[in-house]
Chains A and B, each alone.
Chain A
Amino acid sequence: MIRRLWLRLSDNIDGPLFALVLALLTVGFITLASAAHDTPARISSQAINIVVALVVMWAVAQLQPQTLMRFAVPAYAIGLALLISVALFGDVVNGARRWLNLGVTRIQPSEIMKIAMPLMLAWYFHTHEAALRLREYFVASLLLLVPVALIARQPDLGTALLVAAGGFYVIFLAGLSWRVLLGVLVAGCASLPFLWSLMHEYQRRRILTLLDPTSDPLGAGYHIIQSVIAVGSGGLSGKGWLKGTQAHLEFIPERSTDFIFAVFSEEFGLIGNCVLLLLYLLLIARGLTIAANAPTFFTRLLAGAVTLIFFTYAFVNMGMVTGLLPVVGVPLPLVSFGGTALVTLLTGVGILMSIHRHRKLVQT
């Protein structure tokens, strides 16, 4: 009886993927226990977040890919509508208009787009699979750019980047010709000096600070300088769990959320970093394998994009914390504190599991 229930529960769960997810969640939870030692409420609330997100993952994994496809247009439409509402009536928190107050609860509609965008574009390419011409890519670009522009305007550069990346991955995987890709890239680079000349002085200064944090060591550069010190001082084997001085003496900003990697790096050193990189790499490899073996154009594009979004999270966050990339608000996937990102990411993992489980059934 219990055995049957277990089989029923684990039926649609991909073993390797689930093992990697659990490993990463464990690493995250241990690190959070150190990073948030002075705010124990965060630790217990993250435990709840993890349970909720795992339930969501399990639920999504039960869905048929066809069902996911049916969600595509409504999810995108609702997401877009909410984004427009935010732009018109959203609450301003910390100077950014990101939240929509629904009376009962507040939601951040841009988060929906992280899943809805690849879903929508994958659906769009899937339905136009027979005849993909430049026109279809153009329409897809429009579908992508409108929400991205709305999110970027909030302003929420991190989410805009992730949504844009998600959409781009779909377009790229759908087979956009290299010539166009190259053309867009060249045009983009060529327009940079023009964009620079259009910017306000303070905007330019902000970008310069992003490029060289030491130019403003007490202001905007402080965070990144301190986080790089934390990483570097971790050395080969780290200072030990709960022993990070940069973390525990509060030199690392946002140490349980966006900068949690600095805490991890400081306490577990290069060895810990390699383990973490390896876990991410395995998870991504598993995702790409699922994509490569997916039965339909829709599932292929979706699985590929979802996996690459996961990669983008990891790369941008670690690059930012180590001073390789400018600071944008992107959490470290499955490690940073925060329920929303966790649910979004595990929804993605659930989608991968669903696609993998149903790879044979749909095949004609």
Chain B
Amino acid sequence: MRLTEFKDHRRELHSFRLRIGIAAVFVVTAFSLLLLRFVYLQIVQYDYYHTKAEDNRISIVPIVPNRGLILDRSGAVLARNYSAYTLEISPDKVTDLDKTIDELATIVEIRPSDRIRFKRLMVESKGADSVPIRTHLTDEEVAKFAVNRYRFPGVDIKARLYRQYPLKELASHVIGYIGRINERDAKRLEDEGQSANYKGTDHIGKTGLEQSYEEELHGITGYEQVEVDSAGRAVRTLSRTPATPGDNLVLTLDIKLQQVADQAFGDHRGALVAIDPSTGGILAFVSKPGFDPNLFVDGIDAANWDALNDSPDRPMVDRALAGTYPPGSTFKPYLALAALELGERTPESTINDPGYFQFGGHRFHDDKPGGHGVVDMYKALVVSCDTYFYMLANDLGIENIAHFVSKFGFGAKTGIDIEGESAGVLPSPEWKRSHFKRPEQQKWYAGETISIGIGQGYNAYTPLQMAQAMATLANNGVMYRPHLVDYIEDPNTGERTTIEPKIVRTIRLKPENLAFIKRALAGVNIEGTGARAFAKAEYTSAGKTGTAQVIGLKPNEKYNAKDTPERYRDHALFIAFAPLENPKIALAVVVENAGFGATAAAPIARQVLDYYLLGKTTDKPAAELPGDEGGD
């Protein structure tokens, strides 16, 4: 019995120790497994996890460069930056946006319009780090929020640079504006490989110079390496690459001249472009009415947007750049020059003007009932005789006209350094063929050529083209590419990159022909249709009036401004350059639905030239001259 017990005991102990041994083997196996895992993670995969840990720890914070300024030729500020506080929400870090905004509203004022804008910006700037709910916080609001900041994870105050256009509507189309980067902008930046440089940048140029010189104005984004904790809070700065600020744009534009021109329009709609003929530098670039570009910087609100968009005056359209108008009689000098150059007329050859030109079964009327009598080329230009040019156009033929005037840039983009330019329409049989679909429309009729003689018909040009053509004529056929920027300036070093004047082409013209046309245009302002507007001018000048029909008149129908609704009244035009001998400025003016060029457009040109050449200013709009005798 004792033996069995002993034996059992021995066997039992043996079995127990066996199992302890098995357990020990299990323990060693398990720990070996752990050891293998450690070796795998800490040796084999070390580089991977080291990088991961560094990525966790180090955050790259972009340093947004200051946007360059836009200055006029004498340094007046047209676009600048100022610093202000905004309250911004990071949508990723906030679970209930509406609740957060409601709670924020108990601390800082949040208007319904702020909420609407926030919603819209959320949609527009998808993927942005943070979206502003309030802008321009007062110091008191900043302090109030700072105290309560702990209650709002994902909400932060940021000091941001804002764009400001101190002159508001003045030159608004030229300067343009910046707006928040939307999905389309983001896509384009990505395609251009610019995404990295726009990290942290919220705004981008949308129109005007802000858009076309975006690259120069933006600058190069800097970077700061900061150590962050798991909540994304910066613990310390590791390294810093400063941003390179954007370059300043210094324009050829003279903002005082711009202001004089702008004011001269009064309440009229229209456009004026003034160019330095010897460089192509734009001196004034007016489109009326304008708009306040400041409205767009932080997302325009619905009411203002509707007001701008729905206005029948269409203030958003840059009329100088994209508006096209029939040139009317301002087209005549180029036809006269064509006739001289092609030998179709001499200055001395005359016609007899009975008050109309009969072609086929149709009578083309002159403005002056009864006609101008015996008319040579000088008189034809000075009094703007229509009959002379009906006949001339008919004799030249459309092909010759189109070929010749195209050299002056009509019907082609000028290549000015802002986007959105219209090419206009220089009609020709070829243009008709490619422009229309139906065969009967594609045919060119001889009667159409006759209308072109007085700048009517299909042709339509931008005020910029008209000004460029005038500048080219003034400059004896040497055509410069028009440009707004004189030089680009590095704000740190002051280093300047000048936009060199670029000759587009040199038109070969006989000096005596040029001299004759210039003399005739000078005559316009001395004894012709421009004489009253340029009475007692203290400088020599050349000009040509024009009046362009907005609606076609039926045969024998007489136009009467008083009986025509305002928007169908004639456009008033005037082209000019001065001084005659050594032109410093060439310009084109279009005043929409204002009637005669001589009475509505020429006085504006007079004010602009008076200021530019003599420094004369007036704070009144250009007075419209009464009556219409002898002019168009």
Residues of A whose CB lies within 8 Å of any CB of B are 129, 169, 172-173, 175, 226, 228-236, 245-246, 249-251, 265, 269-270, 273-274, 277, 280-281, 284-285, 288, 291-292, 297, 300, 304, 308, 311, 315, 318-319, 322, 324
Contacts and interface: CB of A to CB of B under 8 A. Distances in A.
B567 interface: no
Given A318-B34, A322-B37, A229 B52 contact: yes
Nearest to A300: B16
Contacts of A269: 42
Contact of B229 (A235, A250, A319): A250
B42 A175 contact: no
B431 interface: no
B53 A270 contact: no
Given A277-B31, A304-B20, A318-B34, A249 B42 contact: no
A265 B235 CA distance: 23
A347 to B, nearest CB: 21
B492 interface: no
A250 B41 CA distance: 20
Given A274-B35, A322-B34, A249 B41 contact: no
Given A236-B43, A324-B33, 20 more contacts: A228-B49, A229-B53, A231-B41, A232-B50, A235-B42, A235-B43, A245-B53, A245-B56, A246-B53, A249-B228, A249-B230, A251-B230, A269-B42, A281-B27, A284-B24, A288-B24, A292-B16, A292-B17, A304-B16, A319-B33
Contact of A273 (B20, B38, B57, B228): B38
Nearest to B18: A175
A233 B46 contact: yes
A232 B229 contact: no
B46 A235 contact: yes
A264 to B, nearest CB: 11
A232 B23 contact: no
Nearest to A364: B9
13 contacts: A232-B49, A249-B56, A250-B229, A269-B42, A274-B38, A277-B35, A280-B31, A284-B27, A304-B19, A308-B27, A322-B38, A324-B33, A324-B37
A284 B45 CA distance: 30
Contacts of B17: 292
A289 B46 CA distance: 37
B38 A230 contact: no
Interface string B208-237: 000000000000000000011111000100
Nearest to A308: B23
Given A249-B57, A304-B23, A270 B230 contact: no
Interface residues of B, number: 37
Nearest to A232: B49
B229 to A, nearest CB: 4
Contact of A311 (B19, B30, B235): B30
Nearest to A285: B24
A291 B17 CA distance: 9
Interface string B418-447: 000000000000000000000000000000
Contacts of B19: 172-173, 175, 304
Given A246-B53, A249-B228, A281-B27, A231 B38 contact: yes
A79 B25 CA distance: 32
Contact of B49 (A231, A281, A285): A231
B27 A311 contact: yes
B49 A229 contact: yes
Contacts, number: 125
Contacts of B83: none
A286 B326 CA distance: 106
B618 interface: no
Contacts of A228: 41, 49
Contacts of B49: 228-229, 231-233
Contacts of B31: 277, 280-281, 315
A172 B247 CA distance: 81
A232 B41 contact: yes
Contacts of B46: 232-233, 235-236
B20 A292 contact: yes
Nearest to A231: B41
Which 9 pairs across A and B sit closest by C-beta, in order of nearness? A232-B49, A233-B53, A232-B41, A249-B229, A250-B230, A270-B42, A233-B49, A229-B52, A245-B57
Interface of B: 12, 15-17, 19-20, 23-24, 27-28, 30-31, 33-35, 37-39, 41-43, 45-46, 48-50, 52-54, 56-57, 227-231, 235
A235 B50 contact: yes
B375 to A, nearest CB: 86
Contact of B38 (A270, A288, A300): A270
A236 B16 contact: no
A36 to B, nearest CB: 16
A288 B26 CA distance: 12
Contacts of A175: 12, 15-16, 19
A281 B54 CA distance: 33
Nearest to B30: A315
Contacts of A129: 12
B237 to A, nearest CB: 15
Contacts of B235: 249
A280 B35 CA distance: 13
A268 to B, nearest CB: 10
A246 B49 CA distance: 11
Nearest to A281: B31
Contacts of B52: 229, 232-233
A100 to B, nearest CB: 34
A273 B17 CA distance: 30
B38 to A, nearest CB: 5
A307 B143 CA distance: 60
A358 to B, nearest CB: 17
A324 B30 CA distance: 11
A260 to B, nearest CB: 16
Contacts of B28: 281
Indicate the member of A234, A249, A274, A291 with the most B CB atoms within 10 Å. Answer: A249
A235 B45 CA distance: 9
Nearest to A246: B53
Contacts of A304: 16, 19-20, 23
B253 to A, nearest CB: 53
A262 B49 CA distance: 13
A146 B68 CA distance: 77
Contacts of A235: 42-43, 46, 50
B67 to A, nearest CB: 34
Contacts of B24: 284-285, 288
B292 to A, nearest CB: 44
Contacts of B38: 231, 265, 270, 273-274, 322
A288 B23 contact: yes
Indicate the member of B16, B35, B37, B41 with the most A CB atoms within 10 Å. Answer: B41
A324 B42 contact: no
A245 B52 CA distance: 11
A221 to B, nearest CB: 14
Nearest to B5: A130
A173 B42 contact: no
Contacts of B12: 129, 175, 297
Contacts of A265: 38, 42
Indicate the member of A232, A236, A269 with the most B CB atoms within 10 Å. Answer: A232
A233 B12 CA distance: 49
B56 A315 contact: no
Contacts of B23: 169, 172-173, 288, 304, 308
Nearest to B227: A249
Nearest to A271: B42
Contacts of A245: 53-54, 56-57, 227
A15 B37 CA distance: 32
A315 B34 contact: yes
A277 B36 CA distance: 12
B61 to A, nearest CB: 16
Contacts of B16: 173, 175, 292, 300, 304
A300 B57 CA distance: 51
B34 A277 contact: yes
